[in-house]
Amino acid sequence: MESDLILEKTQIRSQMTRILESPLFLGSIILKDFLTYIVDETLLGNEEGLKEYVIATSVLKKGEDFNPQVSAIVRIHARRLRKRLDDYYLNEGVNDPIRISVPKGRYIPVFETKPAKATPASDDMHTNNRDKEMKPVIAVLPCTLLNHPEDLGVICSVLSRDLSMALTRSLEMGVLPFSSAKTAFEKLGNYRDFGTQLGVDYILTGSCLMEEDRTKYSVELISIHNRQILWAESFYLNIAIKFETQEYRNIIRKVIAMTCGYQGLVYRDMFKYFEPKDYGKYYALYWHNYYHQRFSEEAFHETLGAVNYGLEQNPKNSLLLAIKGELLLNLLTMDVQGEIDYLMVGTQLVEEAIGVNQNCQHAFQVLAWSCMLRHDKEEFIRAIEKTISINPNDVMYSGSAGFGYVCMGEYDKGLDLMSEAMSLNPYYPWNLSVAFALYYIVQEDYKEAFYWAKMINRKALIWDPLLRCCTLGYLGRTQEAADTCQEIISLAPNFPERAKTIVHAFLFDKELQASILHGLHLAGMELKQKQVL
């Protein structure tokens, strides 16, 4: 292999991921698959097998009768790939530490280190030997066939490939191509070596059993690092299953819902057992998750620092731009006063993120929150529908969309989305508890509203004690209400003067706003007279 084998495979894989996430490659599935396949095969030691026929059948899905002498399709895409790589390294990849190239006349990639720029000695500990890749990597492996009817292998193969493709719609995760994963596992034979060799963190696999009138599909999500099964479930399919049916789609949705997103088991496992100590892998995402768990000033600054560091390394990372915009917009919901216009700057950041990648789901969700804070209902609906359409299987986004619809006053639509998200994944975002509390205040079911207000459990977020205080006022629980009033004042000493502004910030329904302010009044909160509607 004409490459610098001293390079760590994880470094090469991280460099490939940076390339694949660039705008030059985001719109070309063929070139992404081409590059991924030849890099994976080379890292596995299979570089001598990278011939024109193999690439045609493995990457371009040509039939076994493909003839390289007749069709130049592989050579055409290889030329496109070389040109795209050259363009990448002339622009956004100019300072990348590793160069990946494909010499003319061959399909074996070359990996070369680029001279590092000199840095001050005091910064060495923050710049050397760091893996800047943010995402956990997951692979789908073929199912084990527990019996061998003719149709079973087809069902399992299609299901595994469809799961792999569905996973790629989540930009928060890296996904090993199914064909590469299958080939590598057949060669390596065990999960540990497979994970180490290919930089895979999690595996989805399972088994299929065909019974008299149905097929049993069992799926497992496995953590390589912890050597544990994180989740397992069995599904039953009619023996005459058609792949476009709702029954089949529901399996895909359930698996993706339990796996992907910040509420999925991959991230929950990652952040439960792993706390990054430096600026390497998962650092920014770890603090983003930590921030949502606490909503404290400390967590905000740690997260902002981690995101800023990531943007220094890659200023055009759409996910990091969107997260930074989200952080600034959230300061408004926390009623933090500052010297800059958080709404304007946060909106500019998320618009930049969308400009970089128009399929960044997180960016469109944050854009929807910006529209909500600007009370632009039409643009909110446009942004939130785009959010869901990018990956409707990620319930973190569809569930949060339900929260948004409740804030818009579209209660039935919001309730449907939230209920569906919770049925697919019991680990739902905390803002759903806010939405359910609001919904039951509208329904005048204050006991149920108080239950959901307690479930928010974000003590540093003013809406936690605010909704508890409101519902305690309606329930006539005087002493508890008084204590909760003090919680609010400790978070926002000027709350009696600003109550109407805070309640109005992202709620569109004036009757709901009035109900919340009246509940606070019943709780004993001494609001200024003009605050009580």
Architecture of domain 432-533: Alpha Horseshoe (1.25)
| pLDDT tens column, 235-282 | 887 755 555 677 778 888 899 889 887 778 888 887 776 666 555 656
Q: How many CB atoms lie within 10 A of CB 137?
A: 21
Give kind and range of the element (H or E) at residue 110. Answer: strand 110-113
| DSSP per-residue letters across 422-463 | HHH-S---THHHHHHHHHHHHTT-HHHHHHHHHHH--TTSTH
Strand partners, 101: 110
Whether the Cβ atoms of residue 332 and residue 375 lie closer than 8 Å to each other: no
Domain residue ranges in the chain: 9-117, 137-261, 432-533
Low-confidence ranges of the chain (pLDDT < 50): 1-6, 116-133, 532-533
How many alpha carbons lie under 13 Å from residue 35 in its C-beta half-sphere? Answer: 28
Whether the Cβ atoms of residue 365 and residue 417 lie closer than 8 Å to each other: no
The pTM (predicted TM-score) of the whole model is 0.68
| DSSP per-residue letters across 382-417 | HHHHHHHHH-TT-HHHHHHHHHHHHHHT-HHHHHHH
| pLDDT tens column, 498-513 | 999 999 988 999 999 9
Residue 242's pLDDT is 59
Arithmetic mean of pLDDT over the chain: 84
Residue 150's pLDDT is 63
Residue 244's pLDDT is 63
The residues, ordered by sequence, that sit 6+ positions from 393 with a Cβ below 8 Å of its Cβ are 166, 169, 252, 253, 256, 257, 260
Give the CA radius of gyration of the chain.
Answer: 26
Residue 532's pLDDT is 47
| pLDDT tens column, 276-316 | 655 565 677 778 887 887 777 777 888 888 888 888 878 99
Classified by CATH at the fold level, domain 137-261 comes out as Rossmann fold (3.40.50)
Supply 523's token pair.
């709780």
C-alpha angle with apex 382: 378 to 383, nearest 5 degrees?
Answer: 115
Supply 480's token pair.
């508890």
Whether the Cβ atoms of residue 234 and residue 216 lie closer than 8 Å to each other: yes
How many alpha carbons lie under 13 Å from residue 277 in its C-beta half-sphere? Answer: 2
